[in-house]
A and B are shown apart, each in its own frame.
Chain A
Amino acid sequence: MTEDIIDLIKENVIQGRVTQDDEGLEEGMAGKPGVTELIGEAIEQGIGLSDIIKTGLTEGMETVGQKFEAEEYYIPDMLASAEAVGAAMEILEPHLAENGIEAKGKIIMATVKGDLHDIGKNIVSILLRGAGYAVKDLGNDIDPQTIVDAVKEERPQYLGLSALLTSTMMQMKDVIQALTDSGIRDQVKVIVGGAPVSEEFARSIGADGYGADGFDAVRAVESLASDKAKG
């Protein structure tokens, strides 16, 4: 029974089905339980969280990654699966500590002041959730002080900043300066991204990482996490 539910979770991650209303890729899936319903059922049955995360969610995403590499899956498929994993992790999060499972990390995401473009930031948020991170999305047009306040309150390990315009990208520098002025710069790793942003720019404003696209942003966060683990 345990294996059945975990297999179903994995299968639905591969199909990219968040809820029972999602069609997935194969015919006849609509109406059947999606990842959120299956996770609820698994918790009710007392199935181990580490099994759910490792065998259901992580292995499911690994299969999705392989399909993407083999050009069988496209970016929308990756996003759908990541969204399903993100939804699952949101349900599981309150239960992680009591089961002795350490969360991967928390990330605050924001599009900077003066910039209303949030597609890129939203896609990165979905992918990060899919990779197992807890994401707090502040939205768009967010001023530096609001970001500083959120970092103080939420105490995330990472801060992701996004900008689409050349006229707003310098706001990222202001946010980093505001973090420094508040004495919390060393508490959080800052990753920046967006169409006009480059690795060189990221370095020049003192950011810790740069994501060229959604997948690269996840890689940047994973890389910083790995550096941190190595001490």
Chain B
Amino acid sequence: MPREGILVHNPYERMTKEQVRQIHHASMQILTDPGLISFNRRAAEIFASNGAEVTPVSSGDHPTWLVKIPEKLVLHALDSAPRIVKLGARNPDNALILNGEEPRVYFVTGSETNIWLDVEFPTYVKKSDPKIEIQVPEFRPRRGTVADLCQSAHVCEHLETLDGYIRTVNIQDKDITEDNKDVNKFFASLNNTTKHVMSGLTSLSQLDNVVNMARIIAGGEEELKQNPIISFITCLVKSPLQFVEDTTDTFIEVCKRGLPVVVSSSPQAGTTAPMKEAGIMAQINAEILAGITLGQLVNKGTPVLYGSVPVRARMDNLDDSYGAVETSQYNVDCSQMARYYKIPNYSTSGVCDPRTPGTQSSVERLFSDILVTLSGPQYLHCAYGLLECNSVFCLTQAVLDDAHFQMIKFFLRPARIDETEIAESLKQIREVMATPQKLYISYIRRAMRSRQISPPYPFEGDGEGDNVFALAHKRMQELLAKPVDHIDRATTARIFEEIPGLLRRQVDGLKTEG
């Protein structure tokens, strides 16, 4: 049985059906005028040989082409792209079934941050009354390591609401190079969680090593096909409207191997996309459809996700502002567009602007998490632990996020109103009205134990002080102490024998070489 996620029964939609059609038509126009610039020769050739109008723009060391994709080609691609994409898992019970026509949401980590945030709790003494001491969280940023990635996957394995794992932190140990980063990050993730593992690829030369590793773990070629325990994220289109040379190559090669792949586009409204909703929507939709079309031309039927990571620019410094209200609006719109095309949606929420957990972080992430979840994207990434717009990851924050996703999931339970419930309620009301106290308390006991009543916030303090971070940190340490079902010894030995570049210390004990 795959994981259940949460089915959104009446997904929130901002656009009318007519507005969805208008965005679609605008995107189709963009794909032919102005079209896309391709820095990738193979993409240009594939489009040209399938009827697109491809014109060389510049030659020399960095040749570029202008690619104009006709609507017919896009519609054929949308026809052949699977409606249902399975993301497998080392534990088959953790598999995810993404159905482009069903707004069932799975919650996932992301992205790849450079900074890992440690949390400590130094004690402060009140100057005017030294008897009073409080513990205040102190956050210490540092570069991420393999050990951090393992720790993060380990804790995420135990987070109740978390359905899949996108590598959270960029491993920057001294002994990690461009040539061994991919195998080490995939192994660190796969070895510490039995949930689905998704990641980007640093070096195309490592793709086959990574796929072979997955094949060994899954039990063979066919087993991996039936249970794709890994998938890839590719940002092949850089906004505005440009096929990137190296990531497009990676995308083409992943498609050839038939593993699930996200066509991710991340325009920034105000700088790399229009600020207006109609403009950014038309552009991001065109960019994603161009990628999906390329994927289907490479390998018809290859499983793809409609990867939308739109964001608004900050007005003070033009950085990304994931906390901006418009960012959630764009993501909700993208979810609706993906559903229109019946392609599973990889969407974004929960990222915030501040660099440390706190009030602003909580407000921004909860705001977008609730709203974007309500729009029913199938694969909601970036939702756990991310701070400062994807550049910082804090594991304590991920534990806090799990708590509010429990609230969101509870909220989305379908309304239990039917004839049986009504009859039972009327009986209860009449019984209570016949008692002197007129209290319903005795009826809630069973409901409490059958999880029909939402639990209290798990990090509630017992006094007037705010102990949320301390309690979440304690919970994080408890989860870290729980065992994880690692890859068995024989399989691990085979992986280390056949896959080059893996660090022995991943299995011999993780001493950071940072």
Binding site for B on A (CB under 8 A): 16, 22-23, 25, 74-77, 79-80, 83, 119, 122-123, 125-126, 137
Contact = CB atoms under 8 A, between A and B. Distances in A.
Interface residues of chain B: helix, strand, loop or mixed (majority):
helix
A77 B438 contact: no
Given A22-B442, A79-B442, A83-B442, A122 B448 contact: no
B437 A80 contact: no
B351 to A, nearest CB: 36
Contacts of B439: 79, 119, 122-123
B441 A80 contact: yes
B445 interface: yes
Nearest to B442: A80
Interface string B433-471: 000111101101110110000000000000000000000
Contact of A77 (B436, B437, B445): B445
B437 A25 contact: no
Contact of B446 (A25, A83, A137): A25
Contacts of A75: 441
B437 to A, nearest CB: 4
Interface in B385-439: 436-439
A83 B446 CA distance: 17
Contacts of A122: 436-439
Contacts of A16: 442, 445
A126 B442 CA distance: 12
A76 B449 contact: no
Contact of A76 (B436, B437, B438, B441): B441
A125 B445 CA distance: 20
B458 to A, nearest CB: 13
Contacts of A23: 446
Nearest to A75: B441
Interface of B: 436-439, 441-442, 444-446, 448-449
Nearest to B448: A74
B16 to A, nearest CB: 47
A16 B446 CA distance: 12
Given A76-B442, A79-B442, A123-B441, 7 more contacts: A16-B442, A22-B442, A25-B446, A76-B441, A79-B441, A80-B445, A122-B436
Nearest to B436: A137
A76 B439 CA distance: 10
B445 A25 contact: yes
Contacts of A126: 437
Nearest to A25: B445
A212 to B, nearest CB: 14
Given A23-B446, A25-B449, A76-B448, A125 B437 contact: yes
Nearest to A79: B441
B464 to A, nearest CB: 15
Nearest to A137: B436
B27 to A, nearest CB: 54
A122 B435 CA distance: 11
Nearest to B439: A122
Nearest to B449: A25
Contacts of A80: 441-442, 445
A149 B446 CA distance: 42
14 contacts: A22-B442, A25-B445, A25-B446, A25-B449, A74-B445, A74-B448, A75-B441, A79-B439, A80-B442, A119-B439, A122-B436, A122-B438, A123-B439, A125-B437
A162 to B, nearest CB: 13
Contacts of A137: 436
A125 B437 CA distance: 9
A29 to B, nearest CB: 11
B251 to A, nearest CB: 52
A229 B222 CA distance: 82
Contacts of B444: 76
A80 B449 CA distance: 15
A123 B445 CA distance: 16
A80 B442 CA distance: 6
A71 to B, nearest CB: 11
A198 to B, nearest CB: 15
Contacts of A79: 439, 441-442
Those 9 A-B pairs whose CB atoms lie nearest each other, nearest first: A122-B437, A76-B441, A80-B442, A76-B445, A79-B441, A76-B444, A77-B445, A122-B439, A25-B445
A97 B23 CA distance: 85
B228 to A, nearest CB: 42
Contacts of A123: 437, 439, 441
A83 B444 CA distance: 15
A79 B448 CA distance: 14
Nearest to A125: B437
Contacts of A74: 445, 448
A126 B441 CA distance: 11
B489 to A, nearest CB: 40
Nearest to A23: B446
A122 B446 CA distance: 22
Point out which of B436, B437, B449 has the most chain A C-beta atoms below 10 A from its C-beta. B437
A27 to B, nearest CB: 10
A58 to B, nearest CB: 21
Nearest to B445: A76
A23 B446 CA distance: 9
Nearest to B438: A122
Point out which of B437, B441, B444 has the most chain A C-beta atoms below 10 A from its C-beta. B441
A208 B476 CA distance: 47
Nearest to A84: B442
A74 B282 CA distance: 54
B292 to A, nearest CB: 51
A186 to B, nearest CB: 31
A123 B439 CA distance: 9
Contacts of B446: 23, 25
A79 B443 CA distance: 11
Contacts of A77: 445
A207 B438 CA distance: 28
A80 B438 CA distance: 13
A108 B128 CA distance: 47
A122 B438 CA distance: 9
B337 to A, nearest CB: 46
A125 B441 CA distance: 14
A150 B437 CA distance: 20
Contacts of B437: 122-123, 125-126
Nearest to A83: B442
B434 to A, nearest CB: 12
A140 to B, nearest CB: 11
A5 to B, nearest CB: 23
A117 B327 CA distance: 46
